[in-house]
Amino acid sequence: MTNRDNKIIALASDHAGYPLKEALIKYLNSRGIDTIDCGTSSTESCDYPDFAVSGCCKVLDGEADLTILCCGTGIGMSMAANKLRGIRAACCSDVFSAKYTRLHNNANVLCLGARVVGEGLAAELVDAFIDTGFEGGKHQRRVDMITALEK
C-alpha cells in the first residue's frame, strides 16, 4: 500500500468485462475514490492476460493500492494475475470471500466475472474488498509462505 490518505484503485478488463469495469469506475469515483483505468476501452475482442498485467503493474509499481480486474468469469484474469510475482488475486462472487481474501490473505487484486455478478453485487464485492484491511498475525506467516512459493 502506498502512503496516502485516500486509496487509488486500478481497474482493467477485457472486452467481456468492459461494461462492468466502466460501471465500477463510476461507482468508485462517486465514493470519492480515485481510479486508474488500465483498459480495455471497448467491447472489441482482446486478450485478457495483457490487461491483467497492465492492472497488476499499477499495484506492483506502487501507483495504486489495489486492483480490480473484470472479464467474463473473472477466472482467466485471476489465473493471469497470479502468475505475477507479488500479486495475490482472488476471483470472488460473494461478499464473505471478498472480505476475507483481504482480511486473511492480504489479496491485492479482486477479479470479477461480468457474466457472473451484476453491477449491484459487484459494487458490494468491491466495497468489502477495498474497505477491509489485512488482519496480520498468524495470517502473515501464511502470506509469507505463499510469497516463498514465488521464488
With a CB cutoff of 8 Å and minimum separation 6, the contacts of 62 are 2
Q: Per the residue annotation, which of 71, 91, 92, 111 is the catalytic one?
A: 71
DSSP secondary structure letters along 82-102: TTSTT--EEE-SSHHHHHHHH
Query: Which segments of 8-144 are extended strands (E)?
Result: 8-13, 34-37, 66-71, 89-91, 109-113
Q: Return d(Cα 55, Cα 128) in angstroms, integer.
A: 19
- Is 139 an annotated catalytic residue? no
Rg of the chain in Å (alpha carbons): 14
| Total count of residues recorded for the chain | 151
Instruction: Point out the residues that are catalytic.
Output: 71, 104
